[in-house]
Amino acid sequence: MPTIAPGSYWDVNRCIISAGYSWCEILGKCVRLWETACEYPTNCLTWNDGCNTCSLMNGELGACTEMYCFQQNTPYCMVPQPEVSIEPWLMNPPQPVIDPMPPVINPFLGDGH
């Protein structure tokens, strides 16, 4: 039986299996699973899989368009998640200031003059 030299065995996606690469459908490329996780990015809100656009929530796939594509392009993140909240005042709304000692108005003296 002939021995296969390391790096000479390719799969149908042109990944070098004997070098530890396998095809990642999500990322659309060959990856070594111990180096790169084959999963959707957690910091992305809208993902393009090379053909269709999908919503992501915490790295989980949501709704996707279902278009037929003649050519599969490279997947990428279309809308990254912002680093900070767009509306930080919604996180901690300001509290109304209540004066603990309101002014006392004596109706018999009027305004004090």
Tens of pLDDT, residues 21-68: 999 888 888 999 888 888 888 888 998 988 889 998 877 888 888 888
8-state DSSP, 28? T
Higher-confidence residue of 66 and 93: namely 66
pTM beyond cutoff 0.75: no
Name the strands in the sheet holding 60-64, side by side, starting at the edge strand that comes first in the sequence: 60-64, 53-57, 44-48, 76-80
Residue 27 to residues 4, 76, 106, 112, Cα–Cα distance (Å): 28, 8, 76, 78
- Summarize the confidence of residues 83-87 as an average pLDDT: 65
Tokens matching residue 62? 């949501």
Place of tokens 């509306």: 87
